[in-house]
Amino acid sequence: MESAPQLLHEVVITAIVVKDGKYLITRRSPLKKRFGGMWTVPGGKLETSDYVNLPKDTKEYWYNVLEQVLRREVKEETGLAIQNIEYVTSLATIHTDGAPSLVISCMADWESGEVVLQESETDKFAWVSLEEAKDYELLDGIYDELCMADARGHGQKSEWKRN
């Protein structure tokens, strides 16, 4: 007899922030439970509190929820405002603690602000070119996502692949 499918996932959304042809990467605080000390891009988890207390956009639905979460998370973690959010790719994992996660990776243009880190989340940042990104200890798959974002900046769309 098959078991019932697992339906609940953490939903995480991330942003490859683009400014003047460079990409923002941040280093996760060494104290973080998952991937402490590794370099990645800003983002965070969707929580029901991100929408349930807001008025619905239609009779049944809230729209632009992920975009709102991404703007909030980037602002909280880096102090930056972003615009022109675009989908890049998605990934799923089951963490060592057993929690399944669905990560939606996006790219966005820098709109305004200077980087001010939320040090409980991240302790360092860098604006890097694709070539410079190779010098950082990035979470597995992030460099490949940066390659996708770079290609999109040149009008080429693709699905994720190992670079």
pLDDT in tens, 133-151: 999 999 999 999 999 999 9
Residue 160 lies in a domain: no
* Predicted confidence (pLDDT) per residue in 2-22, tens digit: 665 666 789 999 999 999 999
pLDDT at 159 over 60: yes
Overall domain count for the chain: 1
pLDDT at 84: 97
Q: Using alpha carbons only, what angle is made at residue 46 by residues 65 and 33, rounded to the nearest 5 degrees? A: 160
Residue 5 lies in a domain: no
Q: Show the tokens assigned to 64.
A: 């632009």
Residues of the domain holding 144: 10-153
Residue 4 lies in a domain: no
Question: Which whole number is the average pLDDT over 113-123?
Answer: 92
Task: In whole angstroms, give the CA distance from residue 45 to residue 96.
Answer: 17
Q: Where is average pLDDT lowest: 47-51, 62-66, 74-78? A: 47-51
Higher pLDDT, 115 or 48: 115
- Residues with Cβ < 8 Å from 9, sequence gap 6 or more? 92, 100, 101, 102
- Residues with Cβ < 8 Å from 96, sequence gap 6 or more? none
Of 21, 40, 15, nearest to 154 by C-alpha is 21
pLDDT at 5: 63
CATH (domain of 61)? 3.90.79.10
